[in-house]
Chains A and B, each alone.
Chain A
Amino acid sequence: MRKILVAATAAILATGAGLLSASAADKLKIGFIYLGPVGDLGWTYQHDLARLAMVKEFGDKVETTFLENVSEGPDSERSIEQLARAGNKLIFTTSFGYMEPTLKVAKKYPNVHFEHATGYKRDKNMSTYSGRFYEGRYIQGVIAAKMSKSGVLGYIASFPIPEVVSGINATMLGAQTINPNIKIKIIWANTWFDPGKEADAAKALIDQGADIIMQHTDSPAAMQVAAERGKLAFGQDSEMIKFGPKTQLTSIMNNWGPYYIERVKAELDGTWKSEDFWGGLKSKLVVMAPYTNMPDDVKKLAEETEAAITEGKLQPFKCPVIGQDGKEVECKGGTHLDDGQVLGMNFYVKGIDEKIPGK
């Protein structure tokens, strides 16, 4: 009920925004659909930073409108359509759950171009884009194993979807290159965002012996708990060093800016076409925050690992990958698991003791 009303409010606001900006006809109008508030310090915040970077790049050649707090699923269709009807020629829908609604609206408005984040369905006027966040997780695993005294890593997970599972596996594979006996404790928060619960999960992990905290949930709460307890932690989605100046080792930052600039440029030049973009460290969509609170040799190792992944010399999912059951995973990519296997990952690698929830 609450979500419906919020979405309805957003739709009304969208209509208003459309009316206000109707006069500027010669500018390229670009719309954005956001999952959370722009001030969430995580996922949506990073998308909005990218939007601002793009606006800075093109100045008065573009005009942007964004709708925040748009809940995923069928409700979002109205909001997306509002943007299309208001004359936006390029529309970014920035969460997985907008996939079907975006596809529907794209069919209705063939002259409008759509960009959908983290999905897998495309059309001739609908592209997809996402990030290889697992590359950053691998580096974090290496750092974590170097820095951990107890040999136990604490991982706060959100939902057991492939993106999260591949992140856990990449962390573990990175950590095992340093310490083959490293242990990982995983707590599923079953939410993307609940600062209190994230803090509680961090406390539980630390109380059970973990001394490095990493997370796939959105708020800086876990970082603060680690800081208070004198442990170390990794940020998530954005730079979180402010919440743990003596705690943050690094953070995987989602840097959508260059991609948004590139796509808007293509739109302005008339060269936009439907694509599937999955960028990592190399394309700078995934950026590591400065390596801090670690000795120089660990920092050097982290930088070398980052460089090797960027250059393609190191594949986080290099074959052979051994599954939890001890069997080797089929190697579809030749020397490493192929993109399809990573995008659909639903198994843990060897060394993780727990089971994926629901399996």
Chain B
Amino acid sequence: MGLIEAIILAVLAASTPLLLAATGELVTERSGVLNLGVEGMMIVGAACGFGGAWLSGSIIIGALCGIAAGVLMSLIFALMTLGLAVNQVATGLALTILGIGLSGLIGARFVGEKISPAPRLAIPGLTDIPMIGRILFGEDAFVYLSLALVIGVWFFLYKTRPGLILRAAGDNHASAHALGYPVLRIRLYAVMFGGACAGLAGAYLPLAYTPFFIPGMTAGRGWIALALVVFASWLPGRLVIGAYLFGAVTILQLHAQGWGVGVPSQLMSALPYLATVIVLVLISRARTGGSTAPAALGTVFVPDR
């Protein structure tokens, strides 16, 4: 295996949890809801995902447990922000704190256990193609699933009527409501989808990336996913580029250290975040034509009956 191939494979694995969580959050935010609890939903997804896989011996059941846990967490958020019209930012932050505590409680009995990670795909004929075979057909299924998910989300948002309605709810909930669309129900589904994706992203960590569970193992990836959605200016295509760029910078800075490139490692560790700030500046400077934030993002909607 060549070095470049090895680096690309590492980037794919490092980017996948970011891409999964960010895809879910993108849909949530497109419906007008800002859920800052991604980190909390992820870590509970990680604990439940590992627990499910460890108890059942099946990666798929583990992934489903992670998704279910993420959805349950998001339902708490939905109850507060959609049902009781509580401030979304405060609720999202609280959800993260709750998730970190809860995952420690759920995961306590799984700490120190290990599972065999999700198997790498091996498609006869395809995986053996030199150079590209391992990259395109030889990683674990989650990697390709995350890409399929983004394509699906793009198709849904831009090529289907429900997708258009979802975007309308996020841009102007009053108009969408006046046209007779159930804004709160649309947002509920979007929040649940975000929870499912975050749960799966969290479960990816103990199921495929580092096959064990330790409290706090998401280590801030939920926050990066949130930044990615802004980085992508709420467009699925740019989200893919952003996620892989983040992954690439993270992996390359490690390799650069090994090669002895004379740049301080602290600066290189900060590079992905610097990149986000720079892109944010570029977006706000070039705010002509391109997509910007959903207009109703983060605002509470209470329908007048």
Contact of B215 with A187 in the complex, beta carbons under 8 Å? no
Chain B positions within 8 Å of A6 at CB level: 97, 100
Proximity bits, B122-158, A CB within 8 Å = 1, else 0: 0000000000000000000000000000000000000
Tell me whether A199 and B258 are in contact in the complex, defined as CB-CB below 8 angstroms, given that A39-B215, A207-B7 are known contacts. no
B217 x A195 contact (CB < 8 A)? yes
Q: Check B111–A41 contact: CB distance below 8 A.
A: yes
Known: A195-B219, A196-B209, A196-B221. A207 touches B214 (CB 8 A): no
> A242: CB under 8 A from chain B?
yes
Instruction: Check: A131 CB closer than 8 A to any chain B CB.
Output: no
Report which of B6, B216, B217, B265 forms a contact with A203, defined as CB distance below 8 A.
B6
A313 within 8 Å of B by Cβ?
Answer: no
Given A185-B258, A224-B211, also A358-B264 (CB < 8 A)? yes
A148 to chain B, nearest CB (A): 16
Alpha-carbon separation in the docked complex, A205 to B260 (Å)? 12
Given A186-B257, A190-B269, A196-B209, A219–B214 Cβ distance below 8 Å? yes
In angstroms, how far is the closest chain B Cβ from the Cβ of A193?
7
Interface string of A156-198 (1 = CB under 8 A from B): 0000000000000000000000000000011110110111111
Majority secondary structure, B binding face: helix
Interface bits A1-22 vs B (CB < 8 Å: 1, else 0) = 1100110010000000000000
Are the C-beta atoms of A357 and B107 separated by less than 8 Å?
no
Which B residues are in CB contact (< 8 Å) with A154?
258
A353 at the interface (CB under 8 A from B): yes
- Taking CB atoms, residues of chain A closer than 8 Å to B205 are 195-196
Please pick, from A208, A221, A354, the residue contacting B3 in the complex, using a CB distance under 8 A.
A208
In the complex, chain A residues whose CB is within 8 Å of the CB of B107: 39
Chain B 211-268 residues near chain A, CB threshold 8 A? 211-212, 214-217, 219-221, 250-251, 254-255, 257-260, 262, 264-266
Task: Find chain A residues with CB under 8 A from B266 CB.
Answer: 188, 190, 357-358
Q: Which of B97, B111, B214, B258 contacts A187 (CB 8 A)?
A: B258
With A40-B214, A190-B265, A224-B210 known to touch, is A196 a contact of B255 (CB < 8 Å)?
Answer: no
- Bound form: Cα–Cα A201–B256 in Å: 11
Q: Given A195-B217, A203-B6, verify A221-B258 contact (CB < 8 Å).
A: no
- For A9, the chain B residues whose CB sits under 8 A away are 101
Structural contact, B104 and A39, CB atoms closer than 8 A: yes
- In contact, A200 and B14 (Cβ under 8 angstroms): yes
A66 contacts the other chain (CB 8 A): no
Q: Are A205 and B258 in contact (CB under 8 A)?
A: yes
In the assembled complex, the CB of B274 is this many whole angstroms from the nearest CB of chain A, namely 14
A243 within 8 A of B: yes
Provide the residues of chain B in CB contact with A221, threshold 8 Å: 210, 212
Q: Assess the A40–B93 pair: CB atoms within 8 A.
A: no
Name the residue among A195, A199, A220 with the largest chain B CB count within 10 angstroms: A195
The closest CB in chain A to the CB of B251 belongs to: A200
Interchain CB contact under 8 A, A39 and B111: yes
Q: Within 8 Å of chain A (Cβ to Cβ): is B91?
A: no
Question: Which residues of B in the span 264-286 have a Cβ within 8 Å of any Cβ on A?
Answer: 264-266, 269
Q: Beta-carbon contacts of A31-75 to B below 8 Å, as 1s and 0s?
A: 000001101110000000000000000000000000000000000
What residue of chain B has the Cβ atom nearest to residue A225's Cβ?
B210
Q: Which of A2, A36, A196, A355 is the one whose CB lies under 8 Å from B210?
A: A196
Find chain A residues with CB under 8 A from B104 CB.
37, 39
Residues of A within 8 A of B212 (CB): 195, 219-221, 224, 243
**A201 touching B215 in the complex, CB below 8 Å, given contacts A39-B107, A242-B112:** no
Q: Which residue of B lies closest to A40 (CB)?
A: B214
CA distance A221 to B211 in the complex (A): 8
In contact, B210 and A39 (Cβ under 8 angstroms): no
Residues of B within 8 A of A36 (CB): 215-216
Q: Which of A36, A190, A207 has the most CB of B within 10 A?
A: A207
In-complex Cβ contact of B215 among A40, A203, A355 (8 A): A40
A242 pairs with B217, CB closer than 8 A = no
B294 → chain A closest CB, angstroms:
25
A204 adjacent to chain B (CB < 8 Å): yes
Kindly provide the distance from the CB of B95 to the nearest chain A CB, expressed in whole angstroms.
Answer: 12
Closest to A201 in B: B254
A270 to B257, CA, bound (A): 52
Q: What residue in chain B is nearest A1 (Cβ atoms)?
A: B93
The answer to whether B114 and A193 touch across the interface, beta carbons within 8 angstroms, is no
Nearest-Cβ distance from residue B7 to partner chain A, whole angstroms = 7
B100 x A199 contact (CB < 8 A): no
Closest CB in chain A relative to B59 CB, distance in Å: 16
Name B209's closest neighbour in chain A (CB-CB).
Answer: A196
Cα distance, A39 to B219, chains bound together (Å): 15
> Is B164 at the interface (CB under 8 A from chain A)?
no
Pick from B6, B96, B219, B255: contact of A197, CB below 8 A: B219
Residue of B nearest to A202 (CB): B254
Closest to B39 in A: A2
Identify the closest chain B residue to A208 (Cβ).
Answer: B258
Taking a contact as CB atoms closer than 8 A, the residue among B108, B111, B214, B255 that contacts A208 in the complex is B255
Q: Which residue of B lies closest to A243 (CB)?
A: B114
A residues in contact with B111, CB < 8 Å: 39, 41
Once bound together, how far apart are the Cα atoms of A106 and B258, in whole Å?
44
Q: Is B176 in the interface zone, CB < 8 Å from A?
A: no
Q: B107 — nearest CB in chain A belongs to which residue? A: A39
B265 touches A357 (CB 8 A): yes
- Residues of chain B within 8 A (CB-CB) of A1 are 93
The reply to whether B112 and A39 form a contact with Cβ atoms under 8 Å apart is yes
Q: Report the minimum CB–CB distance from B253 to chain A (whole Å).
A: 9
> What are 8 residue pairs bridging A and B, where the CB atoms are less than 8 Å apart in the complex?
A37-B215, A39-B112, A196-B217, A200-B10, A200-B14, A204-B255, A224-B211, A224-B212
Further pairs besides A6-B100, A41-B111, A207-B10: 7, Cβ < 8 Å: A37-B215, A39-B112, A40-B215, A190-B265, A195-B219, A200-B254, A357-B264
A-side residues, CB < 8 A to B, are 1-2, 5-6, 9, 36-37, 39-41, 154, 185-188, 190-191, 193-201, 203-205, 207-208, 219-221, 224, 242-243, 353-355, 357-358
